[in-house]
Amino acid sequence: MKITIIGAAGTLGSCTTFNLIVHSLANEILMIDTWENMLKAHYMDLNTAATGKDVLVRTGGYEEVPGSDVIIITAGAPSGVISSRMELLPNNLPIVRDIAEKINQFCPDAVVIIATNPVGPLNYAMYLLSASQDRRKFIGYSLNDSIRFQMMAAEALGVPSRRVDGMVIGEHGGSQVMLFSSLRVDGKPVTLSEDFKRKIRERVPNILRGYETLKPKRTAGWTSAIGLADVVRAIGKDTGEIIPCSVVIDGEYGYRNLSMTVPAILGRGGVQGIQELELAPGEQEGLKVSVGVLKEAVDYIEKDLGMSGG
């Protein structure tokens, strides 16, 4: 499998390249970035790290993208301290528009995974700008929300995180919906108090705030790289695994004309289906709020791109 990473010189792009190499998830990895010196530095190190692995790591331009099975987008505009990922939309949308043009020109049939924030709106923009508008081929990376949900629930329950499963849907942001009804310990449902749920939800704003307060000029590269490897593995090995991702909705959960996190069935060709869970009443209301946030972003995108929504 050939994978192209656009934005490979950044934290997320370089971490993802490393993880794909370590887990032997590609035969060829093409690294693209306009930050030339940093790209070369990462390439030199990663190419050495690939010694003994059956993978060709190289740098290049868009003219070398043809033949890619998967394209991972981690590129984004420099930003200052933010309070919401949605603040990144005006500056990152033009970048995504340019990348979409290149993909349409050089590799329109690839599965595109976007990890640039805000993930849901930008994944929908990629879909709108695509030559095929085949929603199966566009995936927004948002698994970190579910990973963090499992981590926080495990800490609150006092059990190792490997024993806990749980899922988050909706926006990859402040209005995300933690599905406590999906929470399992050793595969078994758990009964949780409203106070327990409230305390977990209150931790969500602190995740982004914690990074921004430190001003590290980096993203959660290692966490995202682990999750992106899971997504790539499901696609490359055609596993049919269910992974929460932001995907284009067309009637599922009662909504359409946007991209939001749902349990996506992933395999060869991208999204093979969407699992529709039975949501608790509070979760349904939470999703309605989250969709409202996402629709505001969709309105901005459609206006900016000169398109009318459905």
The pLDDT tens digits for 23-45 are: 999 999 999 999 999 999 999 99
* Pair 248, 147 in one domain: yes
- Interatomic CA distance for residues 294 and 310, integer angstroms: 15
Give a yes or no: residue 202 inside a domain: yes
Parent domain of 15: 2-140
Query: How far apart are alpha carbons 229 and 243 in whole angstroms?
Result: 12
* pLDDT greater at residue 108 or residue 87: 108
Q: Indicate whether 89 and 177 sit together in one domain.
A: no
d(CA 159, CA 173): 26
Catalytic-residue membership of 23: no
Residue 264: pLDDT over 90: yes
Q: Is 273 among the domain residues?
A: yes
Q: Give the confidence band of 217 by pLDDT, cuts at 50, 70, 90.
A: low
Which has the higher per-residue pLDDT, 230 or 222?
230
Q: At 40, phi and psi to the nearest 5?
A: -65, -40
Beta carbons of 255 and 147 less than 8 angstroms apart: no
Residues 130 and 154 in one domain: no
Q: At what angle do helices 36-49 and 11-22 cross, to 10 degrees?
A: 20
Half-sphere exposure of 128 (CA within 13 A, CB side): 24
Please tell me whether residues 151 and 227 are part of one structural domain: yes
Query: Phi, psi at residue 127, to the nearest 5°?
Result: -65, -45
Omega within 30 of 0 (cis) for the link into 118: yes
Specify the pTM: 0.93
Residue 210: per-residue pLDDT:
61
Please tell me which residue in 11, 31, 172, 225 is annotated as part of the active site: 172
Place of tokens 């929460």: 244
- Report the distance separating Cα 281 and Cα 278, nearest Å: 9
Question: Which of 140, 163, 189 is the last residue before a domain boundary?
Answer: 140
CATH code: domain of residue 21:
3.40.50.720
Residue at which a domain ends, from 140, 161, 192: 140
In whole angstroms, give the CA distance from residue 92 to residue 145.
Answer: 21
User: Rounded to an integer, what distance in angstroms lies between the CA atom of residue 267 and that of residue 242?
Assistant: 9
Measured CA to CA, the distance from residue 146 to residue 125 in angstroms comes to: 23
pLDDT tens sequence across 109-162: 999 999 999 999 999 999 999 998 999 999 999 999 999 999 999 999 999 999
Among the residue ranges 175-179, 202-206, 249-253, the one predicted with the least confidence is 202-206
pLDDT-derived band of residue 81, with 50, 70 and 90 as boundaries? low
Q: How confident is the model at residue 204 (pLDDT cuts 50, 70, 90)?
A: confident
Looking at the structure, tell me whether residues 148 and 291 fall in a common domain.
yes
195, 89: one domain: no
174 and 287 both lie in a single domain: yes
Q: Which of 140, 166, 183 is the last residue of a domain?
A: 140
For residue 310, tell me if it sits in a domain.
Answer: no
Q: Domain for residue 182, yes or no?
A: yes
Domain count, the chain: 2
Asked whether the beta carbons of 91 and 77 are under 8 A apart, the reply is yes
Q: What is the pLDDT of residue 242?
A: 98
Q: Is residue 80 part of a domain?
A: yes
pLDDT-derived band at 310, boundaries 50, 70, 90: very low
Report if residue 309 sits inside a domain. Answer: no
- In a domain? residue 34: yes
Collect all residues with Cβ–Cβ distance below 8 Å to 216 and sequence separation of at least 6: none
Query: Once rounded to an integer, what is the mean pLDDT over residues 247-256?
Result: 97
The answer on 298 and 150 residing in a single domain is yes
Say whether both 298 and 180 belong to one domain.
yes
Residue 281: what pLDDT? 93
DSSP conformation class of 170:
B
CATH classification at residue 258: 3.90.110.10
